[in-house]
Amino acid sequence: MKINTLLLLGLLFTSLLGSAQTPTPLAANGRLKVVGNQLTNEAGKAIQLRGMSSHGLQWFDQCYTQASVQALASNWGVDLFRAAMYVDEGGYLNNQSGLRAKINQIVDWTAQAGVYCIIDWHVLNPGNPNERLSYAIDFFRTMAQTHAGKKNVIYEICNEPNGVDWNTIKSYADQVIPVIRQYDPQAIILVGTPQWCQRPQDVLSNPLTGANAYNIMYTFHFYSASHFFQNDIKSVTNQLPLFCSEWGTSTYSGGGSLDFNNGQAWLDLMAGNNPSGQKISWSNWTFSDAGESSAGLNSGACNAQQWNNTSQSGTWVKDHILNPADDFGPPTPSVSIVSPANNTTVNIGTNLVINASVTNATATAVEFYNGSTFLGSDATSPYSWTVAGIPQGTYSFTAKALVSSGNLTSSVVTVTSAPTPNQPPTVSLTSPANNASFATPATIAIAATATDTDGSIAKVEFYNGSNKLGEDVTAPYTYSWTGMPAGTYTLTAKATDNLGVITTSAPVTILVYNPGSPDPTADLIGPACVYKNAVQVFEVNASKLANATSFSWWSTGSTKSITVVQPGKASIDFGPDFSGGQVCVGINYSASPWYMQYCKDIAVCAGTPPTTPTNQAPTVTLTSPVMNATFTAPATITLTASASDADGSIAKVEFFNGTTKIGEDVTSPYAYTWSSVGANTYALTAKATDNQGATTTSAVVTIQVNNPASTNQPPTVALTSPVMNATFTAPATINLAASASDPGGSVAKVEFFNGSNKVGESTASPYTVAWNSVSVGTYTLTAKATDNLGATATSTAITIQVNSATPPPANTSADLIGPECAAKNAVLVFDVNARHLPNATQFNWWCTGSTQSITPTQPGKATINFGPYFTGGNVCVGINYSAAPWYQSFCKNVTVCTSSSRIGFDDVADNVVFPNPTNDRFSFVAERAIQSMNVADEMGRERLKLGSAKAGQTITFGEQLSAGTYLLNIQYTAHERRTIKLLKVGR
């Protein structure tokens, strides 16, 4: 069956417009596959996808919306978006359903934007993916079932495993991959590699094999200001299919300095500048406004929805996504069901029209299927098929386009046919009217109308607030309410239809008052009758006061006097001769109605006036403090009292010390806080006053406030060695010494600190610590003494300087002038000899030996940061000339200066491992809270698991280690790590 002509023309026009536009990455490439070691599109062309990764979805949800995904596709030009989902750290385990729903949204948004989506499983913590294996299997089963057949979905099953080897990761992958393949057999699956995805070479000896080991890629990660292992990656490009699912322009912490030069080197490698020419796809960390240097957006951009408010890193990365342009080859032919949308629900009996679109190909016909059951075909575009009167059930529709190059099949679209949802009833209260008033004893007729468009009304219930009054099951729906006391009431009606759906009416407020009391709804409020000599107050209803400017009061019936209390209120003394009459008020207004007059008829009340009973005095008891309680000066004392009045109410409770008032409270519970109370004996009482002025004083409570006991005096301490501004040569051994005493006790210990980081401690005089292997830097040292009662004192700070050994002087006659050796982390300058500068037009610098960075400062001069891993090598420069010799290169061999070599990777001054090196054991002082620690050998194999630590905690370890070099790996937070190199010189 074909749809109407106008709709046909509209769809055809839309199709023609769309065909003139550049196809999206998803439309251009279709289903991805791995051919050899290369990611290719559906047509088999080698491609590189470039895009952005989210930050943790649980932290930056506001950054990930349909609008932001569309902006990434339209403005940033991304080919893919990575949904980074942490498992621990407040992530998936804390909100499983919520994060599954968020990822499902992102998959749909990316599909609509025409880009690929990586569903990520972040096992950064706990590191070993097998610790969360059952959750991973359940998660990826659900994801694969939900997104089966979607061409834009890529699964990343194991992001940044650490502390485990490849065989452990492989065991995990062998259990998760079959779960995905069961439902989504053609999807690309990314598998992490050891050491935070930095060692894909470990896979070579034991790669994934078997029936499910196809369309598998292995991931690596880098941060350009920290990582320089390009050669390791180049060495495996001709042996493994690689995918860089996360990289940053910053240090590995996500913050710190940016290194665009090394970043460009990595991008060149991934663009195909590697031994096999493999194009490696990537996603950059992160599309967020996280306030760290790697974040692509400036702080506050997400809340403001400013998706192009890019940071320094974001601007650079965005430019490298857009340039060079994608090279996907000819667009991939495809067929898709454009409506209904996947997971649509329709009513039973609907004539469901399935519309299909063929792109980048000409089809002779399109066939429509429910599962494997053929429904029909259409030979003309736009292609459609109608399922008439669809029965209840769930359907899996696909479209198959018949084209000359081979048939194309669409993704599955799931449609559920279900009964029409029940519509709720409507209900409204028709009686009483809002703000109606009734005098007691009242009988109030409550009535409501109720209807149901797709059924019938089962009952209507009537409520006062949350209290049910009654119900009616037949129209007209009414209830007669009697016996309520004076008060204000809120009425509602609740209608229930034949299927149990409930609707509640808008509320109606009514007032019930005693007939002897003034009617609060009257224009002029006051009593209807008075006794002779009575004094009564009359007031204008508040609804009549707007714009009132003056009031004129009068009365008839021989009243005695009228006294105006306030605008709109007057007190009338009716005197002995009142015989009945009216009380009236005339009101002038500053706007329409300009003037109004209100009168109230007043009769003489029958009988004799009631007598006023004798007022009963209140009762009061001081409940706190108790008798003979003691306190320490300066004291804060809370006084509380209980008070009641048999024939009225309590106006106030006052608190006294003797005859001196301390304070008062006018509401129950009666309390007062008495502060800064000095040493003395006090007699406390509470005095209650009722609403008619009667008073009662409580029994006296005596308390004692004493002077405080003498306090412990802190110790004194002075740092005696080294002296202020002392200098040392790295690696230095610095003897720390302090003098300490305590006037009222003894010194328990003296601790020595560099800044806030503890170096060591001594518990006996003379107080000394030897601080070994101190690297280059400026240090601020203090000593902290603790006495036998826990009081502490800190010495005056001493500043010292540790310098590197001076390298041998440079040979100024050499072709390339610079030092003969360099310390690790040294930053040194190298110059081309001036005799080689004439006619020079361009200088290209390079070096070997794992240097960190090269910064040209002027033609023929460069500054080189030798970094922590420098092992010796050559510094070289290539020079282009505008005349002969046209090109020359010069190299200089640079060795490591042995006198300034250092113990570890960690070059900061607050090294908190001591002694290091050691021949026995190491002590480590946690300068702040640590999530996890371990000790690994130089091959990365874990030797000791040390667990977590609190700030200030000391951990002693290493006595069982053999002589050798080790790495202390410290994990502070999800994104902050540190490694300290350890040297064991004997046992």
Task: Name the CA dihedral angle for 146, 151, 152, 158, rounded to a multiple of 10 degrees.
Answer: 70
Q: Rounded to whole angstroms, how far apart are CA atoms 815 and 804?
A: 26
Catalogue the active-site residues: 160, 246
Q: Rounded to whole angstroms, how far apart are CA atoms 147 and 153?
A: 7
Q: Rounded to whole angstroms, how far apart are CA atoms 510 and 733?
A: 88
For residue 708, say if its preceding peptide bond is cis, omega within 30 degrees of 0: no
Specify the 3-state DSSP secondary structure of 630. Answer: strand
Per the listing, tokens 């650079």 go with 316
Check: CB of residue 696 under 8 Å from CB of residue 669.
no
Give, in order, the Cα–Cα distances in Å from 355 to each of 5, 135, 377, 382, 704: 14, 38, 11, 7, 90
Question: What residues pair up with 799 in beta bridges, in sequence order?
Answer: 780
Token duo for residue 213? 């080991």
Amino acid in position 300: G
Q: Rounded to whole angstroms, how far apart are CA atoms 571 and 53?
A: 77
Task: Name the CA dihedral angle for 474, 475, 477, 479, rounded to a multiple of 10 degrees.
Answer: -60
Count CA within 13 A, CB hemisphere, residue 824: 19
Rama region for 773: left / alpha / beta (φ>0; ψ in -120 to 50; rest): left
Determine the number of helices (DSSP H) and then strands (DSSP E) in the chain: 10, 69
Sheet (strand 477-482) strand order:
426-431, 443-451, 477-482
Question: What residues pair up with 429 in beta bridges, in sequence order?
Answer: 448
Q: Rounded to whole angstroms, how far apart are CA atoms 567 and 550?
A: 8
Q: Rounded to whole angstroms, how far apart are CA atoms 60 and 1?
A: 48
* Phi, psi angles (nearest 5°) of residue 907: -100, 10
Token duo for residue 528? 């209807």
Residues 6+ away with beta carbon under 8 Å from 26: 111, 114, 115, 116, 151, 152
* Phi, psi angles (nearest 5°) of residue 549: -115, -30
Per the listing, tokens 């990289």 go with 247
Task: Name the CA dihedral angle for 905, 907, 910, 911, rounded to a multiple of 10 degrees.
Answer: 30
Check: CB of residue 973 under 8 Å from CB of residue 124.
no
Length of the chain: 987
Token duo for residue 316? 């650079």
Per the listing, tokens 């290194």 go with 259
Token duo for residue 795? 């010495």
Check: CB of residue 403 under 8 Å from CB of residue 480.
no
Token duo for residue 739? 């003098």
* Phi, psi angles (nearest 5°) of residue 317: -65, -45
Token duo for residue 307? 């998706």
What is the helix (H) or strand (E) element at residue 143, kind and residue range?
Answer: helix 133-147
Instruction: Determine the straight-line distance between the first and last CA of the chain, rounded to whole angstroms.
Output: 87
Q: Rounded to whole angstroms, how far apart are CA atoms 431 and 505?
A: 12
Token duo for residue 338? 């454009």
Q: For the chain, how big is the Rg over CA atoms in Å? A: 43
Full DSSP string of 482-521? E-PPSEEEEEEEEEEETTS-EEEPPPEEEEEE-TTS--TT
Check: CB of residue 845 under 8 Å from CB of residue 856.
yes
Q: Which of 47, 58, 110 is nearest to 81 (CA)?
A: 110
